């Protein structure tokens, strides 16, 4: 079975470039045929890209996360658009809003988010969206600013009611679930996965964070992604092969990747 990790911070798992490639190879042996390498800031992107661009199953996103709102970098828009033109860059992100950590102020976060949504639309790229304690503002902004290529609400943490509102905004907006889906107390996520259209679900490792329950105590890596897929199959009472095929095809469609 094939799996696609739509969100992995490989550079945070290990700084050494050889170890990073080993992480990717480990994942491939477990059936993880695609990984989106995420960078939260523009300073780290060139090094990660150089380290991993030779790996056939790794793709990239570039963006400025809410945590960088006070220091996105000099001429960040010019730098970002340059990165988006690189081979194997398939998305803008992650970007979004984070009111939990209170990075900068809300107005600055909103402005940074909207600017990147507009850039993603211009370059016809999907956007990887971070949301923490900012769901209402996220939905309000996406109503008018979501790029035509859509995007993904990554590491979803809201409830089914929120998911229904989000899915109604655009046929190309997907919802991604990480290892926290497998936690017993994540009833809101279990309900959402059970009710969602299967063709709008993708999964992610969010490594090195959000380790699936059966691997707790370890540092999360993309190779553990099959545990999350298996849990989706259990929640939906559907055979694993059907689930994996759908999740994989959804990921290719989301990021406009030719899976052949």
- 260 domain-assigned: no
- 51 domain-assigned: yes
Measured from the Cβ of residue 11, the count of other Cβ atoms closer than 10 Å reads 21
DSSP state of 117: H
Q: HSE of 70 in the Cβ direction (CA atoms, 13 Å)? A: 6
- Indicate if the pLDDT at residue 175 is higher than 80: yes
Instruction: Output the six-digit token pair for 131.
Output: 């949301």
Apex 61 CA angle, 19 and 192, nearest 5: 100
**pTM exceeding the 0.85 threshold for the entire prediction:** yes
pLDDT in the model for residue 156: 98
- 237 domain-assigned: yes
Q: Can you say which residues are annotated as belonging to the binding site for a divalent metal cation? A: 7, 9, 94, 130, 154
DSSP state of 218: S
Encode pLDDT of 104-113 as tens digits. Answer: 999 999 999 9
In angstroms, the CA 131 to CA 142 distance is 12
Encode pLDDT of 63-107 as tens digits. Answer: 999 999 999 989 999 999 999 999 999 999 999 999 998 899 999
- 259 domain-assigned: no
Number of domains in the chain: 1
Q: Which CATH number does the domain housing residue 222 bear? A: 3.20.20.140
Domain residues for the domain of 155 are: 3-254
Q: Can you say which residues are annotated as belonging to the binding site? A: 7, 9, 94, 130, 154
State residue 170 phi and psi, 5-degree precision.
-165, 140
- 187 domain-assigned: yes
Contacts of 214 (CB under 8 A, 6+ apart): 182, 227
- 245 domain-assigned: yes
- 233 domain-assigned: yes
In angstroms, the CA 114 to CA 216 distance is 36
- Indicate if the pLDDT at residue 260 is higher than 80: no
């Amino acid at each position: 079975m094939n799996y696609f990790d739509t969100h992995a911070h490989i550079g945070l798992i290990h700084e050494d470039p050889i170890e990073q490639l080993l992480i990717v190879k480990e994942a491939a042996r477990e059936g993880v045929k695609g990984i989106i390498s995420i960078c939260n800031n523009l300073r780290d992107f060139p090094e990660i890209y150089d380290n991993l661009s030779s790996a056939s199953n790794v793709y990239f996103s570039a963006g400025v996360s809410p945590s960088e709102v006070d220091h996105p970098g000099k001429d960040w828009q010019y730098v970002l658009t340059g990165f988006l033109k690189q081979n194997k860059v398939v998305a803008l992100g992650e970007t979004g809003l984070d009111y939990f950590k209170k990075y900068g102020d809300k107005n600055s976060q909103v402005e940074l988010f909207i600017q990147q949504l507009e850039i993603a639309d211009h370059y016809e790229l999907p956007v990887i969206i971070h949301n923490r304690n900012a769901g209402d503002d996220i939905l309000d902004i996406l109503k008018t600013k979501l790029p035509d290529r859509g995007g993904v609400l990554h590491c979803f943490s809201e409830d089914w009611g929120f998911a229904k509102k989000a899915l109604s905004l655009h046929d190309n907006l997907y919802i991604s679930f990480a290892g926290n889906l497998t936690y017993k107390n994540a009833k809101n996520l279990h309900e959402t996965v059970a009710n969602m259209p299967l063709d709008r679900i993708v999964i992610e490792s969010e490594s090195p964070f959000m380790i699936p329950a059966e691997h707790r105590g370890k540092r999360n890596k993309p190779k553990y992604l099959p545990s999350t897929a298996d849990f989706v199959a259990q929640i939906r009472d559907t055979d694993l092969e059907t689930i994996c095929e759908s999740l994989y095809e959804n990921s290719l469609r989301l990021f406009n990747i030719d899976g052949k």
